[in-house]
Amino acid sequence: MIRAPWFARGHGLWQPYMHFHRRKEMKFRTLTLALVAVVGLGFVPLALAQSPMQVHESRVASMKELGGAMGRINQNQKEVAGHPQVVAAATVINNHAKAMPGWFPAGTDMAAVPNGGKNHAKAEIWQAKAEFDGAAKNLETVSADMIRIAAGTDNNAVQEQFKKFGPACGACHSKFRAPLQ
Ligand code: HEC
């Protein structure tokens, strides 16, 4: 007789289940094992959570992807033929902007993880987290608008929208990122 799993104990559901469905026991056990495996897989990344240094390095890599995406928009914003590339690059930026608030867990600032002077995340991020997250949200909006505008054929509108990106990145960098050496 196997023990009732934790979620089935204590409310009498398990006993009748075992009595009338003994032959299903194996099935149930297999299902439970499968569930444990699936839930377990979900927890592996948590168990192997990134170190503060890895968090900093991986967000810098993602920020560099933003720089690359900005370059692709810059190259392709001048004519309608480039609009599909603009949409693709703005999509990268949009996804990164959504994830950005999660790239800055406490304890990954430039004082905690100096990385030889290469960590530029100022303490202000955590002192004004709502404002910081708001700057990420603004980039999310600017890029979402670009995805919509560049899906059309109004090239002037695309060029106008492109002008909003620099300030969206810059507003955050000027307050929350230490000057790069
Ligand atoms: C919400 C704030 C925020 C926004 C918005 C933002 N960044 Fe950043 N960015 C940072 C911070 C903070 C760092 C420093 C991270 C670190 O050193 O760990 C950084 C680092 C970078 C770096 C790495 C510099 C280096 O070599 O260390 C690049 C490149 C970059 N950002 C580009 C961009 C671009 C391009 C955009 C807009 C499309 C953008 N960022 C939008 C906050 C932001």
d(Cα 68, Cα 55) in Å, to the nearest integer? Answer: 20
Measured CA angle at 122 (ends 116, 127), to 5 deg: 150
Q: Is the pLDDT of residue 52 over 80?
A: yes
Q: For residue 173, report the distance from its CA to the centre of ligand 1, in Å.
A: 6
Q: Is the pLDDT of residue 122 over 60?
A: yes
Question: Which ligand 1 atom is at minimum distance from the Cα of 59?
Answer: 18
Q: For residue 63, report the distance from its CA to the centre of ligand 1, in Å.
A: 5
Ligand 1 proximity of 146 Cβ (cutoff 6 Å): no
Ligand 1 proximity of 56 Cβ (cutoff 6 Å): yes
In this prediction, residue 18 carries a pLDDT of 47
Cβ neighbourhood burial of 100 (10 Å; 0-12, 13-18, 19+): buried
Collapsing DSSP states into helix, strand and coil, what is residue 105?
coil
d(Cα 174, Cα 168) in Å, to the nearest integer? Answer: 10
In this prediction, residue 181 carries a pLDDT of 76
Ligand 1 proximity of 55 Cβ (cutoff 6 Å): no
**Residue (of 99, 96, 127, 88) closest to 111 by Cα position:** 127
Ligand 1 proximity of 70 Cβ (cutoff 6 Å): yes
d(Cα 152, Cα 73) in Å, to the nearest integer? Answer: 15
Q: For residue 1, report the distance from its CA to the centre of ligand 1, in Å.
A: 57
**Confidence band of 17 (pLDDT split at 50, 70, 90):** very low
Average per-residue pLDDT for the chain: 86
Q: For residue 109, report the distance from its CA to the centre of ligand 1, in Å.
A: 13
Helical (H) or strand (E) element with 154: none
Could you report the per-residue pLDDT of 73-93, keeping only the tens digit for each? 999 999 999 999 999 999 999
Query: Model pTM?
Result: 0.79
Structure-token pair, residue 141: 């909006």
Give the domain ranges of the chain.
6-47, 52-176
Q: For residue 158, report the distance from its CA to the centre of ligand 1, in Å.
A: 23
Fold type of domain 52-176: Four Helix Bundle (Hemerythrin (Met), subunit A) (1.20.120)
| Alpha carbon distances (Å) from 133 to 28, 61, 111, 169, 173 | 45, 19, 21, 12, 13
Q: What is the mean pLDDT of residues 54-66?
A: 98
Contact predicate 113/60, CB 8 Å: no
